[in-house]
Amino acid sequence: MNAEVAIDVFKTTILFALYTAAPFLICMLVVGLLTSLFQSVTGVQESTLTFAPKLIAFSGLALLLAPWLLHSLTEFTVATFGRMTALAH
């Protein structure tokens, strides 16, 4: 096994995971901050108020980004399978 190729595949995999998870993480951060701001301003400390908006935002974003995620994952998988021959040497 070529060590440089294995390290490059690992690095590419980690970067791809960050690339695909970043929109969800950023969205949850923004929704959480807005929810916390709303709770601070109004004084409402309902536990479901912190969970429900994040769930709705995540579901909506998942539906919106599904085609992009599927396309990106397909391209990544094809590229990774194509590089597996270099790992064998």
Q: What pLDDT digit, counting tens, does each position of 6-27 carry?
A: 888 899 999 999 999 999 999 9
Query: How many alpha carbons lie under 13 Å from residue 55 in its C-beta half-sphere?
Result: 5
pLDDT tens sequence across 70-88: 999 999 999 988 888 767 7
pLDDT of residue 11: 94
Q: Domain segments of the chain: what residues?
A: 3-87
Q: What percent of the chain has pLDDT over 70?
A: 96
pLDDT of residue 45: 82
Distance CA 1, CA 49 (A): 52
Q: Do residues 32 and 50 make contact, with C-beta atoms less than 8 angstroms apart?
A: yes
pLDDT tens sequence across 19-68: 999 999 999 999 999 999 998 898 888 878 888 999 999 999 999 999 99
Total-model pTM: 0.81
DSSP string, 20-81: HHHHHHHHHHHHHHHHHHHHHHH----HHHHHHHHHHHHHHHHHHHHHHHHHHHHHHHHHHH
